[in-house]
Chain A
Amino acid sequence: MIPALITWTVAAPALAFVLLMLPWGVGRSASEVYTARVVRWAFLSSFLAAAAALVEMLFTGVDAVVVPLGHLFSVHHHDLALTLLVDRLSLPFALLVTALCGVIGSFGYRYLHREPGYTRFFILLLLFSLGMLAVVLGGNLGLLYAGWELLGLSSALLIGFFHERAAPVKSALRAFITYRICDVALLTAAIFLHQASGSGAFDEAYLGLWPHQTSTLSPGAAGLIGLLLVVAALGKSGQLPFSGWLPRAMEGPTPSSAIFYGALSIHAGAYLLLRNAPVLDAAPAAQVLLVGVGLSTALHATLAGRAQTDVKSQLAYASMAQVGLILAEIGLGLRFLALLHVVGHATLRSLQLLRAPSALADHHQQETGAGGLLAETGRHYEALLPAGARRWLYRFAMERSYLDDALERFLLGPVVRGLEAADRAERRWISRLGRGPGEGRGDEAEP
């Protein structure tokens, strides 16, 4: 029964995605009622199937189930198996994904009422849930990578949801570029894992049951794969030095901010590392890096978050700080703690982000209840510092630790200038080569 239930958990959002795309295919747009109905039933049935699978696993005492769904392709020695893996790690995550997507969907039906991109939002939400389920239930790194790409795309498109304004579009591109950098790291890790262990399937590459799995990788291979996995996770989870995209990602609609950067997408990196924990166990350098970066990010995000002037940015930095701590826990080998931390943080932060548009109303209500102005809180640590250091620190926090400037000045700027120089050289070469007898340099307009 578990294989059928888990298959439906993934198939329901996929089917709903197709149902919402169908009207477009015949040149019509889906109505709000139709969209809401399809999405509601998809997430409800998906969640119920995952919950039923959990109940069955608890009652039958089964720890892990591999669900083979065939092969996407198989050529000579290479294939991509469509295999789902249900165990103590993936099933809680699958439940979290379906439950939170359902909640966000329910919130979105009313929140986005009469918004021009109503159906587009839900199509992207379904695409996201499909990607997230492929990440958490995928039985091999190939399938996980496919889901990882769906996450990146749906995230970028939702950040740029209000595409008529310049800022969301710029933020979406920034996020997508960061995602692609971490995609390269993940794909390279998948290649090396396949090469080193002879299989990309988790149940074959790692021995035993999660969280007590081990791997037979050599220290060198584990070190390299571990570092690549850490880079992939840092990018997806908005950690240093890739953190610049996360606060800007709040340009999207509030429900998508909640599901992506408060609840699920931001924890995809943590899931990746938990799933590949046996590699990290054999890669002390990766563990040290993870703990170091996680704690540094927590510090950076705490500082920068305290200088933010809008509630969504504050929450984005708060998420970044918590995920930094979660990654540090994973680096220290505290896997169950990290799993609990993920579930707790995802649910709390979703609630906070969904309430964010009503922050002022909530504040007034609290003041009315208290019978006057609320006392200011959160200034204890600043008070411990000398006044000069306070001003410097404030500036430092306002500038987001000068990280974005440094990346722009020392990495992105030179690369772009180099590419533009190459492009100019190409144009000059074509112009010179194609010049006819008696023609000057400007006789033909540049394209």
Chain B
Amino acid sequence: MTGHIPTVARKEFEDAGRSKLLWALSGLLVAIVVVGYTAIWYTADDATASEVLGFLGFPLQTIVPIAALIVGYMAVVGERRSGSIKLLLGLPPNRTDVVFGKLVGRMAVVGVAVILAFLIALVLGAVFFGSVPIVDWLGFAAVTLLFGVSFAGLAVGVSAGVSSRGRSMALVVGTYMIFVALWELLTAGPYYLIHDEGPPVEAETWYLVLQQFNPMSAYTTLASNVVEGTVPPFTFQYGLEEFEAAQLTPAERYAGDAPFYLQDWFGAVVLVFWLVGPVAIGYYRFSRADL
């Protein structure tokens, strides 16, 4: 029976809504939008509202996942360590309700912060640059929303699967570092060892699939498709890959017509994967754990 998911989610949302940390993160997100828009308005004369929207992609790809991870990483394990989970599970909600209620609640928290930031971007775009690029705006907001809830899900999944706060933090920070700082080392590195040279632009399919599964580049690829201009991915480069290659999407690097799993839209599936995978593992482990 999972009838208590909405009740738990509502409590979660209300609880998180009183957290100063959350307000700080939302404030940061909003501040980035305000500062970004104002700065561009000052410096660029001929920018359009939809171009400026695209510029947002760069700061958002860093801040949104960090915010979402912070919102989620203590969700389940925090209650487990403090003991409030005994109060919660002593009531009718069961472990399934707890994991999915928390997942929904924390995703909603991230969603509200993202939507707030985008609403402000819409207003500032109209005020400073005189237009409302509603289609770009809707698409970009949707992609960013998916990006945010994906990382919230990843964090909630981790928080359900571990038994200590330290482990949850280590896993979440480690995962983020892999996505941002170590992805090239972990993918192009083995390629280099196997082939004695770095991956070319038109690399083998398995290598391109690996590149496709980085949620950071999945986000920038998707974002680039919905806004004017491109949103460059912010990931560490070690020079194992040519610089040119790192700027291209897997679909662009594939010789000929890319299979569906290498196409740009597949990035949405990748983001869902990073939401569902960790939650499934975390839920499995949590439902079998002694509390």
Q: Do A and B bind each other?
A: no
Identify the B interface with A (CB < 8 A): none
A interface with B by C-beta (< 8 Å): none
